[in-house]
Amino acid sequence: MNEAFAMLAVATAKPGQEDELGRRLHALMVPTRAEPGCLRFELHRSASHPAVWMAYEQWRSPADLEAHYGMPHLRQFVAGSHEVLAGELRFERYAMPLEASAGQAQA
């Protein structure tokens, strides 16, 4: 059974905190990519709204994402997020076609 899925996480910075939010999000990239269930983690900044950042993530299973939530690097980000975020993070989960997740596992 294919449990792999993609997730979009969108964060909007408080005025004046756009670059700091980006720095903190970038700090998540290396440790998140090293997690066993992380298939992909990419960070993007909106070209038209510089306060908006988006993370595109692919996970092997919901259990792997749950494990991610307990990781020290993410817990540290969440603990200080009120300093830089203009509101709540927005998340959207997407199913991955079987052939797409199979290709990621081989990469």
Tally of domains within the chain: 1
CA-closest candidate to residue 10, choices 40, 73, 44, 55? 55
| Cβ contacts of 32 within 8 Å, gap of 6 or more | 38, 41, 57, 68, 71, 73, 74
Enclosing domain of residue 92: 5-106
Distance CA 6, CA 59 (A): 6
Give me the CATH number covering residue 32.
3.30.70.100
Q: What is the pLDDT of residue 2?
A: 78
Between the CA of residue 106 and those of 9, 39, 99, what are the distances in Å?
25, 10, 11
CA-closest candidate to residue 21, choices 10, 32, 37, 31? 10
Three-class secondary structure assignment of 17-31? CHHHHHHHHHHHHHH
Task: Per residue of the chain (107 residues), give pLDDT as tens.
Answer: 679 999 999 999 999 999 999 999 999 999 999 999 999 999 999 999 999 999 999 999 999 999 999 999 999 999 999 999 999 999 999 998 765 555 555 44
State both tokens at 8. Answer: 């979009």
Q: What is the pLDDT of residue 98?
A: 64
